[in-house]
Structure 1
């Protein structure tokens, strides 16, 4: 009887809530909502792939919080500007999507924001590996293989995201192609600005008091940041270990 009473109370609370909020129109967050045909495994795969830009964005935030490197911050600022360019072009061109989905997607479809974002990211990584990492002294086969894997993985991901947007009827082929072209062009322009204009200013920026407070750093001249951080932390741990051992009283 107590369980029946509790269930009845729960139902009454739900009905009362729905009655009080009957005039509210509930809107899903379309930013992370991806639809695919029921039972279509390929469509489900492309739906998951379509979420990759959000994973990349989360990775940017994590790197900025824990690494605080100026080049990473500049790269992230480029992605934000790239999104602003996409939003501006969409409202200038005003071309609708190939399939309407009620009120889920009321924005325009030309150019594809997913295609523009992922191609901007992939091409920027390509330039970074090709131009910024060429001076690394480690020219081993493993190092070269890792560069090929990184670039190939980014290009393949960009291709899959672009194909998925057409397959799931979120964009037409022309919308995806235009988005890819704009992303590639903006990545080229932004990398040139960062490499030629912003990077020479990084030493002056990190010398500012605000940069010291936020612990912002410039690792441009360090060829292998991971190896540098690994060796530095290991040396520091050994030095502290020796100090602790020296402080211990002798028996």
Structure 2
């Protein structure tokens, strides 16, 4: 009986060994062992997934229709990247081409980051502002946001070349395509889609999903902060009044 059980275990193990195990290449990032810079750049390559997680969180908790349109743009940008890859059919660098069946032109990471960065630049400079209050502090935090996005895009793009997932040419074309599509998508959102936001949020399905349009509010964060504080104070005074009775 013991021998038969051992035979069964060996048979199951051999069947497992014969299986063709395939990693999820989307999140698989390798770096040279002992290379601390490579490790940092490998972690930075995961930035697009963090940004996508942020989109999901914002959509779930803020329900702003502009955020939904921005997220839709990132999905279309990824679709455009796949269309270009399978149209140009340019392989990755040689040793990466042996590991990845997906083509390398243009770099998806580079295109994603520069799409996001270009859209944020336009959004911060054109859409996000105080009403008639162009203060020095406002210019400082705008500069911080823009410089942070540009720096992260540069780091992620450089990481794809340093880790030998793409050539400089593939990364450069990814950046160009991403920046151009981000510009086009922001222009379409600002001039074409935004006028229809009030209509969209009035739909029954939008009311059910609690979608809202904050386009006409100059600074959403300040608006929500002041209104929440006023409401909290009013409810606090009402609670104290009820307890005193």
* Correspondence 1:42-121 to 2 at 5 A: 42-101=37-96, 104-121=99-116
Separation in 2, partners of 1:16, 1:50: 40
Tell me the TM-score normalized by structure 2: 0.91
The alpha carbon displacement at 1:164 in A equals 1.1
The alpha carbon displacement at 1:55 in A equals 0.7
The alpha carbon displacement at 1:227 in A equals 1.2
Contact 1:99–1:169, Cα closer than 8 Å, also in 2: no
2:190 aligns with 195
**Which of 159-168 and 86-95 deviates more?**
159-168
Change (3 A) 1:97 1:213: same
Separation in 1, partners of 2:12, 2:71: 42
The alpha carbon displacement at 1:129 in A equals 1.2
Report whether the alignment pairs 1:245 with 2:230: no
Deviation string 1:180-199 (CA, Å, 9 cap, x unpaired) is 11101101110110000000
Report whether the alignment pairs 1:150 with 2:164: no
Report whether the alignment pairs 1:34 with 2:29: yes
**Which of 157-166 and 18-27 deviates more?**
18-27
Separation in 1, partners of 2:113, 2:185: 15
Deviation string 1:22-43 (CA, Å, 9 cap, x unpaired) is 3322111111111111111121
2:13 aligns with 18
Report whether the alignment pairs 1:140 with 2:135: yes
Deviation string 1:212-232 (CA, Å, 9 cap, x unpaired) is 111000111111111111111
Change (3 A) 1:39 1:219: same
2:167 aligns with 172
Separation in 2, partners of 1:86, 1:152: 25
Change (3 A) 1:230 1:17: farther
Tell me the TM-score normalized by structure 1: 0.89
> Aligned Cα RMSD in Å?
2.0
**Which of 116-125 and 11-20 deviates more?**
11-20
2:228 aligns with 233
**Which of 69-78 and 95-104 deviates more?**
95-104
**Structure 2: runs of 5 or more not aligned:** 1-5
Contact 2:96–2:164, Cα closer than 8 Å, also in 1: no
Separation in 2, partners of 1:155, 1:103: 32
Contact 1:30–1:104, Cα closer than 8 Å, also in 2: no
Separation in 2, partners of 1:14, 1:78: 51
1:4 aligns with none
Separation in 1, partners of 2:98, 2:12: 24
1:7 aligns with none
Report whether the alignment pairs 1:204 with 2:204: no
The alpha carbon displacement at 1:245 in A equals 2.4
**SS class of match (1:111):** coil
Contact 1:90–1:111, Cα closer than 8 Å, also in 2: yes
The alpha carbon displacement at 1:102 in A equals 7.4
